[in-house]
Chain A
Amino acid sequence: MLKVCDVTKRYGRFTVLEHIDLEFTPGVYGLLAPNGAGKTTLMKMLTTLAFPTEGEIRYDGVEIGAMNAAYRDLLGYLPQQMGYYPNQTPAQFLSYLAVLKGMEKGSIPARVEELLDLVGLSDVKRKRMKTFSGGMIQRVGIAQALLNDPKVLILDEPTAGLDPNERVRFRNIIAGLSKDRIVILSTHIVSDVESVANQLVFLKDHRVAGEGSPESFCRDLRGKIFEITLPDTELPQFEQAHAVLSIRQEHNRVHLRFTGGSLPAEAVPAEPSLEDVFLVFYR
C-alpha cells in the first residue's frame, strides 16, 4: 500500500500542496484537477523526483526516501513530457532504460519485444523515433514505464497529444494493467479516467477536495443536474442565475445543462456524468 501522510510541499514561500492524506491500494486512481493545481508536484513526490517539505510518503509502511533504490525498483513512471532520444529506435531506447532499471541483461530483449507488442509498435521497432508521431512516442513511454513490471505505475497526463483512437487504445492498455498494481493517472481530461479509474481524487486549492469512486461522485450529484432548452436570447439572463455546465446551439435555441439557482418549470432532471462532477468541483 502506498500512503501519503500529511504531505505539504512548498517552493520557497509558495505552497503547492498542503496536508495531503491519501491511500493507494491496487487499482486505477484518477487524479483529477485543473492545470496548475499541483498534480505534477504530487506525481513528482510519488516518484522521488521531489520530496515533501512536511509529512512523508510510505510504501508498505516504509518511507520511500529511505527505501531508495528498492522503491525505484517497484516504480514505473511516464512523465508529462515523455523525453526520448530521437536517433534511437524504440528497441534501443527501451533496452537502455531496462539496463538502468537494473534488469537482468539476458531477459531484456524478450521483455522489450513483449512490451513493443503490447503497445503495438513491433512493426516499427527498428525505426528511429524521430519519425514517430506523438501517439507513438507516448506508447513508447507507456512501454518504458512497464519495463520492470512495476507495482506502482504513475502516469502524468498520459493522453496529452493523443488522437481519439490512440486514447481508446491507451485506456484499454491501462485497464488490462490494473490487476495487482497501483496505477495513478493524473489528468485534467475527464473522459480519460471515466472508463478505467476505480477511484478518483480531486485536488483543489492545494488540498484534496474529494476522493471516492466515480459512481459515488455521480450519485452525490443526482437530482442536482438539469437540462433545459431556451431561446438563445434568454441565455445571458439564465447564465446569471444558474451554473451552466454545457451549451449546445440548436437553430435559434440553446440546449443547456445546468445546476444551482431556482428551477424553471421546463427544466428536466439529467443523469449526472463525471464531466458534470468535474465542472461542479471547479466552477
Chain B
Amino acid sequence: MTIRYPSEEQIRASVREICEQAPLTKRPTIRSFLRDMSRNLGLRQIFAGTWDVIAICCTLFAVVGVVGAMELQTSVDPQQQVSVFLFAFSPVFLFLLFSLSVWKEAEGPAWPIKMTCRYTVRHLMAFRVFCITCLSFATVGFYTLVLSCVLRLQGLPLLCVSLSSLFLYSLIQIQAALSLRSNWAACGLLALWVFGNCAAAQLWPRFYWELLQAVPALAWVAVDALLAGMFCNRYGIYVRRACYAESM
C-alpha cells in the first residue's frame, strides 16, 4: 500500500485554512484590557453620557454623609455608632454609581448601535465598573478619615470597617453581574443587600457593633486582602465575558 503524502503547498494551504477558520486570540488580562480601552477610546469617550450620573451620586453621597456626620456628632458612643454607620453606608455610593450607570446605558438611545461597534456597551461597562469601584474606595476612604478627624475617633479601625464593607459589596456586585442574566435582577439584589444592611444597622445597632468589635484589626486586613483577590479574579472573568459575550 502506498501512502500519498500531501505536497508542501497542500500542507501550507491546509494550515492557512485552519488558521483562518479558528482565529486564535489572546485572552485579555485586566491590565491589557484597561490599557487598551484607555489608549484606544480615552476616558472622555468611555464615560460619555455618564458624567451626570457621577455628579448626582457624588452630591447624594455628600448630602447623606454630612447629615450622617451631624447626627453622629451628638451620639453617646461615637466610635460604636460611626463604625455601624460606615459598615452600612459605605457601599451606597458604589451601588448608586453602578445601578444608575446600568440604567442610563440600558435606556440609552444608541444602545443597539453601540452593541454593533468594535467596543460594545459591555466593554464600556466593564471599564466603568473598575473605575467606579476605585472611585468609591477613594471617596469612602477619604470620607472615613475626615469623619474620624472631625469626631476625634480612631481612624484605622474605622477605615478597616468601611473598606471591608466596600470590598464585600464589590465582590457581591461583580458576582451578581456575572451570575444574573439581567442587569435589573443584579441591581435588585444589590439594592436588597445595601438597603437591607442600612435598615438592619438602624434596627439592631448593638448586634452590628458586637459583630464588628469581635473581629480583630489583623483579621480585617486579612479579610480585605482575601476579598480584593477574589474581586480581581471575578473581575477578570467579567472582562473576558465582556470581550467575548455571545449569550442573549
Do A and B interact with each other, yes or no?
Answer: yes
Give chain A's interface residues, CB within 8 Å of chain B: 47-51, 61-62, 65-70, 72-73, 75, 77, 79, 82-85, 96-97, 99-102, 144
Report B15 CB to chain A, min CB distance, Å: 16
Give chain B residues whose Cβ lies under 8 Å from the Cβ of A49.
112, 115-116, 248
Given contacts A49-B116, A79-B112, A83-B109, contact A99 B41 (CB under 8 A): yes
Q: Would you give the shortest CB distance from B214 to chain A, in whole angstroms?
A: 49
User: Residue on B with the closest CB to A141?
Assistant: B113
> Which A-B residue pairs are the 5 nearest by beta carbons?
A83-B109, A102-B118, A100-B117, A83-B110, A79-B112
Query: Could you say which residues of chain A place their CB within 8 Å of the CB of B109?
Result: 83-85
Q: Are A99 and B42 in contact (CB under 8 A)?
A: yes
Chain A residue at smallest Cβ distance from B25: A68
- For residue A85, which residues in chain B have a CB less than 8 angstroms away from its CB? 49, 109-110
Cβ contact within 8 Å between B113 and A69: no
User: CB-nearest residue of chain B relative to A70?
Assistant: B23
- Please give the distance in Å from A184's CB to the nearest CB on chain B: 13
B113 touches A144 (CB 8 A): yes
Q: How far is the CA of A279 from the CA of B42 in the complex (A)?
A: 52
Do B45 and A51 touch across chains, with their CB atoms under 8 A apart?
no
**What's the Cα separation between A69 and B119 when bound, in Å?**
8
Interface contact tally, CB-CB below 8 A: 78
Which of chain B's residues has its CB closest to A92's CB?
Answer: B48
Q: For residue A51, which residues in chain B have a CB less than 8 angstroms away from its CB? A: 246-248
Determine if B114 and A100 form an interchain contact, defined as CB atoms under 8 angstroms apart: yes
B113 touches A77 (CB 8 A): yes
A50–B248 touching, CB < 8 Å = yes
B244 interface contact, C-beta 8 A: yes
Given A66-B23, A68-B244, 10 other A-B residues pairs in contact with their CB atoms under 8 A: A49-B116, A49-B248, A51-B248, A70-B23, A72-B118, A75-B116, A77-B116, A82-B113, A83-B109, A100-B117
Q: Is the Cβ of B112 less than 8 Å from the Cβ of A100?
A: no
Chain B neighbourhood of A96, CB < 8 A: 45, 48
Measured between alpha carbons, how far is A99 from B116 in the docked complex, in Å? 13
Type the 1/0 row for B94-137, where 1 means its CB is closer than 8 Å to any CB of A.
00000000000000111111111111100000000000000000
Binding site for A on B (CB under 8 A): 20-23, 25, 40-42, 45, 48-49, 108-120, 243-244, 246-248
Would you give the shortest CB distance from B157 to chain A, in whole angstroms? Answer: 45
Query: Which residues does chain A contribute within 8 Å of B21, judged by CB atoms?
Result: 61-62
Identify the interface centre among A66, A73, A96: most chain B CB within 10 Å of its CB. Answer: A96
Q: Please determine whether B108 and A83 come into contact, CB atoms closer than 8 angstroms.
A: yes
Given contacts A85-B109, A99-B41, A102-B40, contact A69 B118 (CB under 8 A): yes
The CA-CA distance from A77 to B25 in the complex, in Å, is 25
Question: Could you say which residues of chain B place their CB within 8 Å of the CB of A70?
Answer: 23
- Chain A's nearest CB lies how many Å from the CB of B192? 26
> Chain A: which residue is nearest B40 at the CB level?
A102
User: Nearest-CB distance from A242 to chain B (Å)?
Assistant: 43
Given A61-B21, A65-B246, verify A84-B110 contact (CB < 8 Å): yes
Give the residue of B110, B111, B113, B116 whose beta carbon is less than 8 angstroms from that of A48: B116
Q: Which chain A positions have C-beta within 8 A of B25? A: 68
Q: How far is the CB of B54 from chain A (nearest CB, A)?
A: 17
Least CB distance, A190 to chain B, in whole angstroms: 25
Rounded to whole Å, the gap between the CB of B31 and the closest CB of chain A is: 19
Alpha-carbon distance A72/B248, docked complex (angstroms): 16
How many Å from the CB of A42 to the closest CB on chain B?
14
Q: Give 24 A-B contacts (CB < 8 Å), ordered by A residue.
A: A48-B116, A49-B248, A50-B248, A51-B247, A51-B248, A61-B21, A62-B20, A62-B21, A62-B23, A66-B22, A67-B23, A68-B25, A69-B118, A70-B23, A79-B113, A83-B108, A85-B49, A97-B114, A99-B42, A100-B119, A101-B117, A101-B119, A102-B118, A144-B113
Write the nearest CB–CB distance from A177 to chain B, whole angstroms: 17
